[in-house]
C-alpha cells in the first residue's frame, strides 16, 4: 500500500531532461579543425563542438530470419491486417501483408489468431535514473542544486541493472526516453534507450536518436526553489529563468558559430550547459517540456518563438485538451497520462478523454506516456481507458487509431518515426505478440522482439532477463 506522499516525493525529485543523439559517426572537435560540416547558425545547422562524446555501442542481437503467420497485425500505419503475416530479416521488417514469402532458415511463429503490434514507445520514463530498490542511493534523476542545469545528461545517471527495465520490456515497451526529473526549469538532456540488457548505458543507447532537453513549468520548480533567496518562487520567476538561460545560450551560439565560420584564433571556452541549449537553438536537440496547464503551455510557446526554438512535445499535458487546436497548429505533441489527476492543483482538471480530444484535431500528435515504472508496463491498458472515455464523449475512435498513441506518435516525438513505431517494410523489427486484443485487460504480452531478436518469451522463464540486482535478492519462489 503506497500512499500519495510517494507521488509527492517522486515529483519533488523527478524531472526530465535530455537526450541527444547526434550520429555516432561524426565527432568534430574544436581542436582538430575538422568540423567543416558545422555551418551557419540557425535551425538545422550542425552541432558543435563535440557532438557525441558518449556514443552508442548498441549491437543488435544476432537472430535468424523470422516469419509470424496467422496473426492479426495492428500496423499503426493502416487498418489491422486480419490473419496476416510479417517477415523479418537482419533486424528489419521485410514484408507485411496477407501472406509473405518465407526465406530459407526462417523461424516460423504461428500467431494462432493472436495480435502483433509495433513495439511500444514510452517517451517519458525515469527508468535507470530512479532505479529500484529506490532510496537516496539510487535517486539520480534531479540535479536539484540549481534551477537551470542544462549541463547534466540523464545517461550519466542510468543504472543498467535497474530491475524495472526487464519488467517494462515484458510490457511490450521496446524504446524509452529517459528524462531528468522536473525539479528544475531546465533539467538537462534526456537519452533514448532500447529496452535491452547491457552492462553499460552506451550499450542501450538508440543509435542515431536525437537528444532531448527536459524543461519544466509550474509548480515543481517553484516548490523546489521557493525557499531559496534566488528562487524562482513564482511562475513569473520561472519564466524569467527560462528567458535568461536562452539569452545566454543565444550569445554562446553566436560566439561558436562565428568561430566555426573561419576558425580564427582560439575557440571560445566550452560551457556544457550553454552547449546543450545552443544545440536546441540549432534544432539538433528536441525540447520535451513538462507543462500541465493550457495557459502555461501558451506561455512556453511564446518563449520558444521569442528565441527561435521549437517545442517538440508537452509532457504531462493534463490540460492539452483545452488547447488541442493550438498544439496542432504549432506542430507540438501532447504526451499525457490516461487518468492521473489531482495530486496537485495543476493536475486538477485531468479528464480521461484527454488523448482522444487532442487526437481528433487534424495535425495533432497525441501520445500516452507513463512517467512511472508500473504504468510503463501496461501502456496498452492506459490507452484502452482513454479510448473508452473518448467513445463515451461521443467521439469515434478505432483501435487502430488508439494504437498510434503508444507507437508511431510517440516515435514521432523522439524523431524516430522513420525507424520505429509502425509495422512497415524497412522499419526496425520491434514487435510485440499479444495473447489477444491488446486493449483487453486480460491480454498479456507473449513475446517481444527488438530489431528482430526475441528478447522476451513469457513461456520461457529460463530465458527471462534478470538484472544483476535480481540475482539472489528477488525471490522467485516460496521457500
Partner 1 sequence: MTDFLMRRAAALMMSAFAFVLQAHPAAAQTIAITGGKVFPVSGPPIENGTVVITNGKIVGVGANIPVPANARRVDASGKWVTPGLINSSTQLGLVEIGQVADTRDMQARGQDNIAASFTVWEGLNPNSVMLAPARKEGVTSFVVLPTGGLVSGQAAILDLVEGTTTDMIMRSPVAMVAEIGNAAQAGTTSRGELIVKLRELLEDTKFFITHRAQFDRADTREFRASRLDLEAMIPVVQGRLPLLVIVDKQSDIDAALRIARDYNLKLIVGGGAEAWLMAGKLAAARVPVLTGAMNNIPAGFAALGQRQENPGLLSAAGVRVALIGNAGGGDEEAFNVRNIKQEAGNAVAYGMTWENALKAVTLWPAEIFGVSDRVGSLSPGRDANVVVWSGDPFEFTTRAEHVFVRGIQRTEKTRQDLLTERYLTMPGKLR
Q: Rounded to whole angstroms, how far apart are CA atoms 65 and 104?
A: 8
Residue 112 found at the interface with partner 1 (CB under 8 A): no
Residue 234 found at the interface with partner 1 (CB under 8 A): no
From the CB of 437, what's the least distance to partner 1, in Å?
10
Site string for partner 1, 199-228 (x = CB under 8 A): --------------------x---x-----
Nearest by Cα to 341 from 330, 333, 350:
350
Q: Rounded to whole angstroms, how far apart are CA atoms 206 and 191?
A: 8
Look at the block and give the residue holding cell 482538471. Answer: 349
Residue 427 found at the interface with partner 1 (CB under 8 A): no
- Nearer to partner 1 by Cβ, of 102 and 326: the residue is 326
Residue 161 found at the interface with partner 1 (CB under 8 A): no
- Nearer to partner 1 by Cβ, of 123 and 384: the residue is 384
Nearest by Cα to 420 from 122, 199, 158:
122
Q: Rounded to whole angstroms, how far apart are CA atoms 119 and 58?
A: 17
Among residues 90, 110, 230, 392, which is the contact residue for partner 1, using CB under 8 A? 392
Q: Are strands 107-110 and 66-73 parallel, antiparallel or unpaired?
A: parallel
Residue 36 found at the interface with partner 1 (CB under 8 A): no
Total Cβ atoms within 10 A of residue 342:
11
Among residues 142, 190, 381, 407, which is the contact residue for partner 1, using CB under 8 A? 381
Among residues 117, 132, 175, 276, which is the contact residue for partner 1, using CB under 8 A? 132
Range 167-186, binding partner 1 (CB under 8 A): 167
- Nearer to partner 1 by Cβ, of 10 and 183: the residue is 10
Contact range with partner 1 by CB under 8 A, out of 32-40, 133-141, 237-245, 251-259: 133-141
Q: Dihedrals φ, ψ of 212, to 5°?
A: -120, 160
The answer to whether the Cα torsion of 444, 449, 373, 177 is positive or negative is negative
Among residues 134, 226, 331, 363, which is the contact residue for partner 1, using CB under 8 A? 134
Nearest by Cα to 335 from 280, 285, 391, 287:
287
From the CB of 164, what's the least distance to partner 1, in Å?
6
Nearest by Cα to 121 from 56, 191, 192, 59:
192
Residues in the chain: 479
Contact range with partner 1 by CB under 8 A, out of 99-107, 175-183, 448-456, 469-477: 469-477
Cα separations in angstroms, 439 against 44, 150, 354, 358, 381: 39, 38, 18, 20, 6
Contact range with partner 1 by CB under 8 A, out of 18-26, 260-268, 285-293, 440-448: 440-448
Residue 331 found at the interface with partner 1 (CB under 8 A): no
Task: Tell me the three-class secondary structure of 26-41, residue by residue.
Answer: CCCCCCCCCCCCCCCC
Look at the block and give the residue holding cell 528567458. Answer: 243
Q: Are strands 366-368 and 333-336 parallel, antiparallel or unpaired?
A: parallel
Among residues 192, 239, 278, 324, which is the contact residue for partner 1, using CB under 8 A? 324
Residue 27 found at the interface with partner 1 (CB under 8 A): no
From the CB of 390, what's the least distance to partner 1, in Å?
9
Q: Rounded to whole angstroms, how far apart are CA atoms 470 and 177?
A: 23
From the CB of 47, what's the least distance to partner 1, in Å?
37
421: left (phi over 0), alpha (psi -120 to 50) or beta: left
The alpha carbon of 254 is separated from its chain's Cα centroid by a whole number of angstroms, namely: 30
Question: In sequence order, what are the residues at sequence separation of 6 or more whose Cβ sits closer than 8 angstroms to the Cβ of residue 472?
Answer: none
From the CB of 353, what's the least distance to partner 1, in Å?
5
Range 332-371, binding partner 1 (CB under 8 A): 339-345, 348-353, 357, 361
Contact range with partner 1 by CB under 8 A, out of 78-86, 184-192, 296-304, 438-446: 438-446
Among residues 128, 373, 415, 452, which is the contact residue for partner 1, using CB under 8 A? 373
Q: Rounded to whole angstroms, how far apart are CA atoms 254 and 40?
A: 9
Residue 60 found at the interface with partner 1 (CB under 8 A): no
CB 100 within 8 A of CB 90: no
- Nearer to partner 1 by Cβ, of 313 and 381: the residue is 381
Among residues 254, 444, 464, 466, which is the contact residue for partner 1, using CB under 8 A? 444
Among residues 288, 322, 365, 427, which is the contact residue for partner 1, using CB under 8 A? 322
From the CB of 163, what's the least distance to partner 1, in Å?
5
169: left (phi over 0), alpha (psi -120 to 50) or beta: alpha
| Residues of the shown chain interacting with partner 1 in the complex, contacts defined by CB under 8 A | 1-8, 10, 132-135, 163-164, 167, 219, 223, 321-322, 324-325, 339-345, 348-353, 357, 361, 372-375, 377-378, 381, 384-385, 387-389, 392-394, 439-444, 469-470, 473-475, 478-479
Amino acid at each position: 500500500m503506497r500512499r500519495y506522499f510517494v507521488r509527492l516525493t517522486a515529483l519533488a525529485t523527478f524531472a526530465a531532461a535530455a537526450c541527444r543523439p547526434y550520429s555516432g559517426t561524426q565527432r568534430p572537435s574544436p581542436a582538430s579543425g575538422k568540423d567543416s560540416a558545422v555551418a551557419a547558425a540557425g535551425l538545422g545547422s550542425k552541432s558543435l563542438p563535440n557532438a557525441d562524446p558518449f556514443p552508442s555501442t548498441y549491437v543488435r542481437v544476432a537472430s535468424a530470419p523470422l516469419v509470424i503467420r496467422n496473426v492479426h497485425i495492428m500496423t499503426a500505419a493502416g487498418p489491422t491486417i486480419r490473419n496476416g503475416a510479417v517477415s523479418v530479416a537482419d533486424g528489419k521488417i521485410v514484408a507485411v501483408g496477407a501472406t509473405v514469402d518465407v526465406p530459407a532458415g526462417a523461424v516460423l511463429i504461428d500467431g494462432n489468431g493472436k495480435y502483433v503490434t509495433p513495439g511500444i514507445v514510452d517517451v517519458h520514463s525515469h527508468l535507470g535514473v530512479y532505479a529500484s530498490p529506490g532510496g537516496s542511493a539510487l535517486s539520480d534523476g534531479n540535479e536539484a542544486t540549481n534551477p537551470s542545469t542544462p549541463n547534466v545528461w540523464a545517461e550519466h545517471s542510468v543504472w543498467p541493472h535497474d530491475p524495472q527495465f526487464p519488467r517494462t520490456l515484458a510490457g511490450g515497451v521496446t524504446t524509452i526516453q529517459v528524462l531528468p526529473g522536473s525539479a528544475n526549469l531546465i533539467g538537462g538532456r534526456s537519452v533514448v534507450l532500447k529496452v535491452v540488457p547491457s552492462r553499460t548505458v552506451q550499450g542501450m543507447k538508440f543509435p542515431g536518436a536525437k537528444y532531448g532537453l527536459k524543461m519544466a513549468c509550474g509548480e515543481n520548480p517553484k516548490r523546489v526553489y521557493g525557499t531559496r533567496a534566488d528562487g524562482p518562487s513564482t511562475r513569473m520567476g520561472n519564466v524569467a529563468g527560462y528567458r535568461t538561460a536562452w539569452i545566454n545560450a543565444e550569445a554562446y551560439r553566436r560566439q561558436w558559430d562565428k568561430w566555426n565560420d573561419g576558425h580564427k584564433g582560439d575557440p571560445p571556452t566550452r560551457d556544457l550547459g550553454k552547449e546543450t541549449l545552443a544545440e536546441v537553438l540549432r534544432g539538433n536537440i528536441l525540447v520535451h517540456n513538462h507543462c500541465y496547464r493550457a495557459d502555461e503551455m501558451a506561455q512556453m510557446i511564446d518563449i520558444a518563438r521569442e528565441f527561435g526554438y521549437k517545442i517538440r512535445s508537452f509532457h504531462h499535458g493534463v490540460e492539452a485538451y483545452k488547447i488541442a487546436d493550438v498544439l496542432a497548429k504549432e506542430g507540438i505533441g501532447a504526451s499525457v497520462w490516461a487518468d492521473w489527476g489531482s495530486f496537485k492543483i495543476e493536475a486538477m482538471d485531468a479528464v480521461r478523454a484527454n488523448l482522444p480530444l487532442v487526437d481528433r484535431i487534424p495535425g495533432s500528435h497525441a501520445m500516452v506516456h507513463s512517467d512511472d515504472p508500473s504504468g510503463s508496463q501496461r501502456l496498452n491498458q492506459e490507452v484502452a481507458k482513454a479510448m473508452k472515455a473518448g467513445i463515451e464523449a461521443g467521439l469515434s475512435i478505432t483501435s487502430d487509431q488508439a494504437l498510434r498513441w503508444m507507437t508511431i506518435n510517440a516515435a514521432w516525438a523522439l524523431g524516430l518515426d522513420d525507424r520505429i513505431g509502425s509495422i512497415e517494410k524497412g522499419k526496425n523489427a520491434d514487435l510485440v505478440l499479444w495473447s489477444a486484443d491488446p486493449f483487453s485487460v486480460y491480454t498479456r504480452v507473449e513475446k517481444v522482439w527488438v530489431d528482430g531478436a526475441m528478447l522476451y518469451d513469457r513461456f520461457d522463464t529460463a530465458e527471462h532477463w534478470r538484472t544483476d540486482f535480481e540475482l539472489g535478492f528477488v525471490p522467485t519462489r516460496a521457500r
